[in-house]
């Protein structure tokens, strides 16, 4: 698209002026962004309600508030992060000084998903701004009101030569990916992530992929069952399960399966009421296509709780399925909805082997009081990040890098990790001219003998 090409050229030209590099410029941009979000909080909340029926509480806690927290955290520490980081030099480099400089890439393309359409567009933007880049955001067409609200906010705060929002469908994404941007940050499904990486490979553009996968959750026999049930219900059914790090399937030790299911049913009722479909604050499924895909999963196993649907309102009750086989359709791909399949286990090792037999998940959750069990699980399973005795909460810590591994993605952000992600770390050695070590040169006397001694 000609418009995409013109925009990228405009941003590249602006970046080359050096305007985005000074600390004061970056801090001012972050402050303006935070102020605009606070001023438009009502508009954003309403847009999220219209697109996904998110309650004000859920929308603020998981979208707006978390972004404002990220802005404050980054702005407070940015000066220190921008300083060149001094490093040691070996004996062979006596007289020299080494340092790592963080420099912006240039124009960053941020392709955002629909499930947290504000937070997952703006949180990466905070990192891009902090690192001194220009940025183009491509929001999801499945949440048009939030995309429009975001576009209006950015348009009022920043010149498009610095930060711009480009709404559109998949064709718009393809057009932007074909442009010579300097960094690509994508959040979405694995299949599209592969296409993004393929597009990036044509120009060897560095890329971050925040994908998903089937994130397992384990409840061991020694777990605090009541608290585990409450935290699993919260992590699984927030946003109607449309969360990339939601527990996707649950292994429960057979000795505690029945009491745990009782706690889980009560926890769901406490969070969403006895009739969740009548709860006006309960999030809806994003589209009819996704609704029908999820509805088909209800035929797997036995419904232990939930199972009711409202096709007109695009809502599905928080649903727990038991009697599940690893071969059931609900276990094939990431669910991304309010359906939780539960499997029983007796021994831990076969469970860990089964998890390792799948693509590496974005998250893993374990509920156990045993340090030995905790160590065993953490050592034997590779995953992006996760929690012990909680779900999802690791995502909200600015001190913990968030990202996937293998099929669940590459690269990590949040806090300092966001600044590092959108920065090229340039290594520089400053050498003295007061003396010159002769052994480095091939014509020095006994050069080989000396170089061997230094490089032992």
Q: Which residues are the active-site residues?
A: 210, 244
Q: Which helix (H) or strand (E) holds 48?
A: helix 41-52
- Alpha-carbon span 266 to 309, nearest angstrom: 19
In 327-395, DSSP assigns E strands to 339-345, 363-367, 385-388
Q: How many residues does the chain have?
A: 456
Dmax (CA) for the chain in angstroms is 88
Q: Which helix (H) or strand (E) holds 305?
A: strand 302-305
Residue 159: which residues within 8 A CB-CB, separation 6 or more?
14
Please enumerate, as own/partner, the contacts of 302-310 that have beta carbons within 8 Å and a separation of 24 or more: 304/261, 304/265, 304/342, 305/261, 305/264, 305/265, 305/268, 306/268, 306/276, 306/338, 308/277, 309/277, 310/277
- Alpha-carbon span 5 to 176, nearest angstrom: 8
Residue 266: which residues within 8 A CB-CB, separation 6 or more?
229
- Alpha-carbon span 246 to 7, nearest angstrom: 36
Backbone angles phi, psi at 328, to 5 degrees: -65, 150
- Alpha-carbon span 456 to 454, nearest angstrom: 6
- Alpha-carbon span 263 to 228, nearest angstrom: 9
């Amino acid at each position: 698209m000609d418009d995409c090409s013109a925009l990228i050229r405009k941003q590249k030209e602006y970046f080359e002026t050096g305007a985005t590099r000074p600390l004061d410029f970056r801090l001012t941009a972050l402050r303006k962004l935070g102020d605009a979000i606070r001023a438009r909080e009502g508009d954003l909340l309403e847009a999220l309600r219209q697109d996904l029926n998110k309650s004000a509480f859920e929308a603020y806690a998981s979208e707006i508030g978390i972004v404002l927290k990220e802005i404050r955290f980054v702005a407070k520490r940015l000066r220190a992060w921008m300083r060149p980081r001094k490093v040691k030099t070996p004996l062979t480099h006596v007289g020299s000084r080494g340092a790592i400089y963080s420099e912006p890439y240039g124009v960053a393309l941020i392709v955002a998903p629909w499930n947290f359409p504000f937070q997952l567009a703006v949180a990466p933007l905070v990192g891009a701004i902090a690192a001194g880049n220009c940025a183009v955001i491509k929001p999801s067409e499945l949440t048009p009101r939030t995309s429009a609200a975001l576009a209006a906010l950015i348009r009022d705060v920043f010149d498009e030569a610095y930060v711009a929002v480009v709404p559109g469908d998949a064709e718009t994404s393809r057009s932007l990916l074909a442009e010579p941007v300097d960094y690509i940050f994508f959040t979405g499904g694995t299949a599209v992530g592969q296409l993004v990486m393929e597009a990036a490979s044509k120009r060897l553009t560095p890329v971050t992929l925040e994908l998903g996968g089937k994130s397992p959750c384990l409840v061991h026999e020694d777990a605090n069952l009541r608290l585990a049930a409450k935290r699993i219900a919260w992590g699984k059914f927030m946003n109607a399960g449309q969360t990339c790090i939601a527990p996707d399937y649950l292994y429960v030790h057979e000795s505690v399966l029945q009491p745990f299911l009782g706690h889980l049913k009560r926890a769901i009722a406490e969070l969403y009421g006895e009739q969740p479909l009548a709860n006006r604050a309960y999030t809806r499924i994003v589209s009819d296509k996704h609704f029908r895909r999820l509805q088909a999963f209800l035929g797997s196993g036995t419904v232990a709780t939930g199972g009711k649907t409202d096709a007109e309102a695009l809502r599905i009750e928080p649903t727990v399925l038991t009697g599940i086989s690893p071969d059931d359709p609900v276990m094939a791909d990431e669910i991304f909805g309010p359906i939780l399949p539960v499997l029983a286990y007796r021994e831990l090792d076969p469970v860990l082997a089964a998890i390792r037999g799948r693509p590496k998940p974005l998250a893993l959750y374990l509920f156990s009081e045993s340090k030995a069990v905790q160590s065993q699980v953490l050592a034997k399973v590779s995953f992006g990040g996760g929690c012990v005795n909680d779900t999802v909460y690791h995502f909200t810590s600015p001190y913990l890098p968030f990202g996937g591994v293998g099929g669940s993605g590459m690269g990590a952000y949040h806090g300092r990790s966001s600044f590092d992600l959108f920065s090229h770390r340039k290594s520089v050695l400053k050498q003295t001219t007061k003396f010159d070590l002769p052994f480095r040169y091939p014509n020095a006397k006994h050069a080989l003998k000396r170089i061997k001694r230094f490089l032992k």
